[in-house]
Amino acid sequence: MNYYNEIKNELINNEINRRVKNYSINKNELDTYYTVGKLLLDAGNQYGDRIIKEYSLKLTKELGPGYSQRNLRNMRQFYKISLKWQTLSAKLSWSYYCEVLWFDDDRFQYYIKAAELNNLSVRQLRERIKSNEYERLPDETKNKIINSQKLDVKDLVPNPILIKNKNNVEIVNEKALHRLILEDIESFMKELGNSFCFIGSEYKIKIGDRNYYIDLLLFNIKYNCYVVVELKVTEYKAEYISQVQKYMNYIDKNVKEVSNNNTIGILICKRENKFVIEYCSDERIAVREYKIIL
């Protein structure tokens, strides 16, 4: 069998289809690279791995750029991955798969599902990978995403939460942390997950004859609920939970509409205390550490 001619013909047909069948570019391209990957694997088994270099040089000379050794190895890897998962989404282009092809199985599945569910661009997917999003999410959340199960707002809040500090400001108290977040509130809300919008900072509420101030009050459009965010620059303490509960209960009773879902809370601390959390927690509240990055 002349593997090279088979591969060349597949790639030529793919180039033609890319020009005349815009509606099915992704599926055609993925099908092509699946077939080419199989041929490359078979050729490698017969002639050795050096065949990748040989075919890359010939394809580049005859068809132009785009067929580097790396790209050919990606096609071979794509074929191997496709054998495991049988059906891969044609909603995502080849560029998405190139970002995750060499990940282990669970990590690969997570980022493919996340890109599909959240309609991410390739750049956004790359940013999530760079921020180690997979490693910062609870195992329960990752399994839900991989298995396409229903998610709650707090499922998507990573741990730790990354907070940008471009000017290297010293964080000595809650006010300093609060100001730092407000400087780039959009980035902070994206870090928490999807579909958050800003309602208020130091949001004033009155309980009895005393005023209280919620550090940040957000609203999640997708999950149709208010989100109370409290900031602490110390280790997690049991009394912090009761503070957030009080604020959540107030919002549920006095602010939210009947059509809204119940308020949830996000408590952000310098450090977790898993022993305290085990006995002093509330399933409506996500307790997360924060990490300052430049």
Instruction: Please write the tens of the pLDDT for every residue from 241-279.
Output: 899 999 999 999 999 999 999 999 999 998 765 645 554
Instruction: Please write the tens of the pLDDT for every residue from 159-189.
Output: 999 998 887 888 878 999 999 999 999 999 9
When pLDDT is cut at 50, 70 and 90, the band that residue 23 belongs to is very low
How far lies 85's CA from each of 112, 149, 157, in Å? Answer: 12, 18, 28
Cβ–Cβ < 8 Å for 80, 101: no
* Residue entry with tokens 């390739």: 122
Helices and strands (H and E) in the chain: how many = 13, 6
| pLDDT for position 193 | 85
Q: What is the DSSP letter of 260?
A: S
Instruction: Please write the tens of the pLDDT for every residue from 92-121.
Output: 889 999 999 999 999 999 999 989 888 899
* Residue entry with tokens 């919002």: 251
Per mean pLDDT, which of 22-26, 64-68, 153-157, 200-204 is the most reliable? 200-204
Give the distance from CA 173 to its chain's centroid: 30
Could you tell me the pTM of the whole model?
0.80
* Domain boundaries defined on the chain: 3-146, 153-293
User: Out of 23-32, 49-58, 74-83, which region has the weakest mean confidence (pLDDT)?
Assistant: 23-32
| pLDDT for position 274 | 61
The CATH classification number of 153-293 equals 3.40.1350.10
Confidence check: pLDDT of 237 > 90: no
Average of pLDDT values for 226-241?
91
Output the CA torsion sign for 135, 136, 139, 140.
negative
Rounded to whole angstroms, the Cα distance separating 182 from 197 reads 13
